Structure 1
Amino acid sequence: MSSVTPEWDTMVSVGRIARPHGNRGRVIVNPDTDFVEERFHAGNALFVRRGDRVDRLLIRDVRFHLHRPIVAFDEVATMTEAEQLASAELRVPAETLERLPAGVFYHHELIGCRVETVEGASVGTVSGVEGDGGVYRLVVEHGPTEILVPLVEAICVRIEPAVGVIAIDPPAGLLELNPPSRRSKRTRRRS
Structure 2
Amino acid sequence: MKIEDCFYLGKIVRKYSFHGELLIKLDTDQPELYENLEAVFIDYKNTFIPFFIESSQLHKSDLLRVQFEDVHTEAEADSLLKSDVYLPLEFLPKLEGNKFYFHEVIGFSIEDVNFGKVGIIKGINDSTAQALFEIDKDGKEILIPVNDQFIVKVDRTKKTVIVDTPEGLIDLYLS
1:8 is aligned with what amino acid? Answer: I
2:18 is aligned with what amino acid? Answer: N
- Identical aligned residues as a percent: 23
What is the root-mean-square deviation in Å for CA atoms of aligned residues? 3.5
Residues 5-20 of structure 1 mapped to structure 2, 5 A cutoff: 6-20=1-15
Query: 57, 65, 68: which one pairs with 1:70?
Result: 65
- Taking structure 1 as the reference length, the TM-score comes to 0.63
Query: 29, 33, 40: which one pairs with 2:28?
Result: 33
Q: Is the 8 A contact 1:58 1:75 kept in 2?
A: no
Tell me how many residue pairs correspond in the alignment.
Answer: 163
Determine the C-alpha separation between the residues in 1 that align with 2:10 and 2:89: 14
Residues 33-52 of structure 1 mapped to structure 2, 5 A cutoff: 33-39=28-34, 41-50=35-44, 51-52=46-47
Please give the per-residue CA displacement for 1:105-128, whole angstroms capped at 9, x wherever unaligned. 334313565544232234964425
Q: Is the 8 A contact 1:115 1:140 kept in 2?
A: no
**Secondary structure of the residue that 1:49 maps to in structure 2?**
strand
Residues 1-191 of structure 1 mapped to structure 2, 5 A cutoff: 6-39=1-34, 41-50=35-44, 51-111=46-106, 113=108, 115-118=110-113, 119-122=116-119, 125-128=122-125, 138-141=131-134, 147-150=144-147, 152=148, 154-160=149-155, 165-172=160-167
1:45 is aligned with what amino acid? Answer: A
Task: Kindly name which structure, 1 or 2, has the bigger radius of gyration based on alpha carbons.
Answer: 2
- Taking structure 2 as the reference length, the TM-score comes to 0.68
Determine the C-alpha separation between the residues in 2 that align with 1:103 and 1:59: 37
Q: Is the 8 A contact 1:116 1:123 kept in 2?
A: no
